């Protein structure tokens, strides 16, 4: 019998080691796997590469990992003042590397990894610092730059509903980066607000098939599923 549910945060994060590339779902806190993030902080892993929409918030999750100098590189779309105040200082010291990626390009680099596409050309970023050092090519007379897929060792995501096979649904904005990150990692761990019996999720509503999900941690929160 296939049952991907795990008993607690420690079991969900088992095997994640130093130097891992970790994909973190969420957008401005919505759809963020907060319990898994806090568990990652408590696990003690270090020398991480984190891929997320932002560089995190001070005092929680990703921000704590940065403050404790457990992160060596961040790939993100936004780094705003006050979100993770240690980021700039650590960059200036040479401890931390920050790669800023346009939001659509970030999503596509993750989607490409899940689709088996190693790289693609895009117009986004041409004639900006983002294009520095990247291969350029013209298509129909329009310049494009080459962007590479982002592969993760592990993806930590949040879903609205899950069943024991790991089939997932997402609620409204909670969908954000979670589905593309689920497909781009060798190990995908999902924090689910609701765990429902197998067969209760209409196949038409499944956004991420269980094929991409390896562990499901049920943490009840929010309204009951419809």
Burial class (CB in 10 A: 0-12, 13-18, 19+), 220: exposed
CA–CA distance from 97 to each of 1, 11, 76, 107 (Å)?
A: 44, 30, 11, 20
**Three-class secondary structure of residue 20 per DSSP:** coil
Q: Cα separation of 205 and 146, whole Å?
A: 34
Q: Cα separation of 202 and 189, whole Å?
A: 22
Is the pLDDT assigned to residue 163 strictly greater than 60?
A: yes
The model's pLDDT over 103-160, given as tens digits with 9 standing for 90+, comes to 999 999 999 999 999 999 999 999 999 999 999 999 999 999 999 999 999 999 999 9
Task: Provide the pairing of β-strand 48-51 with 21-24.
Answer: parallel
Q: How does residue 225 score in pLDDT terms, banded at 50, 70 and 90?
A: low
The model's pLDDT over 47-92, given as tens digits with 9 standing for 90+, comes to 999 999 998 887 778 889 999 999 999 999 988 655 566 888 899 9
Q: How does residue 221 score in pLDDT terms, banded at 50, 70 and 90?
A: confident
| Confidence (pLDDT) at 28 | 80
Average pLDDT of the residues in 162-191: 97
Q: What angle do CA 109, 112, 117 make, to 5 degrees?
A: 125
Is the pLDDT assigned to residue 15 strictly greater than 80?
A: yes
Task: Give the single-character DSSP code of 19.
Answer: T
Q: Cα separation of 182 and 107, whole Å?
A: 12
Q: Taking a C-beta distance cutoff of 8 angstroms, is the pair 127, 158 a contact?
A: no
Is the pLDDT assigned to residue 226 strictly greater than 70?
A: no
| Confidence (pLDDT) at 57 | 80
What stretch of H or E contains 162?
Answer: strand 152-162
| Confidence (pLDDT) at 164 | 97
Q: Taking a C-beta distance cutoff of 8 angstroms, is the pair 20, 28 a contact?
A: no
| Confidence (pLDDT) at 56 | 82
Percent of the chain with pLDDT over 90: 85
| Confidence (pLDDT) at 3 | 96
CA–CA distance from 41 to each of 10, 13, 108, 183 (Å)?
A: 11, 11, 28, 24
Domains of the chain (ranges; CATH) run: 9-218 (3.40.1080.10)
């Amino acid at each position: 019998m296939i049952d991907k549910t795990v008993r607690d945060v420690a079991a969900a994060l088992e095997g994640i080691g130093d130097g891992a590339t970790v994909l973190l779902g969420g957008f401005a806190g919505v759809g963020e796997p907060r319990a898994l993030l806090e568990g990652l902080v408590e696990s003690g892993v270090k020398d991480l590469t984190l891929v997320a929409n932002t560089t995190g918030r001070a005092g929680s999750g990703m921000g704590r990992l940065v403050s404790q100098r457990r992160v060596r590189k961040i790939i993100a779309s936004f780094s705003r003042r006050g979100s993770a105040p240690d980021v700039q200082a650590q960059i200036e010291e040479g401890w931390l590397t920050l790669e800023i990626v346009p939001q659509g390009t970030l999503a596509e680099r993750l989607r490409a990894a899940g689709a088996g596409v190693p790289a693609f050309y895009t117009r986004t970023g041409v004639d900006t610092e983002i294009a520095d050092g990247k291969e350029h090519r013209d298509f129909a007379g329009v310049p494009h730059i080459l962007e590479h897929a982002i592969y993760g060792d592990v993806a930590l995501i949040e879903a609205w509903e899950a069943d024991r096979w790991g089939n997932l649904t997402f609620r409204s904005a909670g969908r954000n980066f979670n589905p593309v990150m689920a497909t781009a990692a060798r190990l995908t761990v999902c924090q689910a607000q609701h765990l429902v019996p197998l067969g209760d999720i209409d196949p038409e509503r499944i956004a991420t098939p269980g094929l991409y999900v390896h562990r499901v941690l049920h943490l009840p929160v929010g309204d009951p599923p419809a």
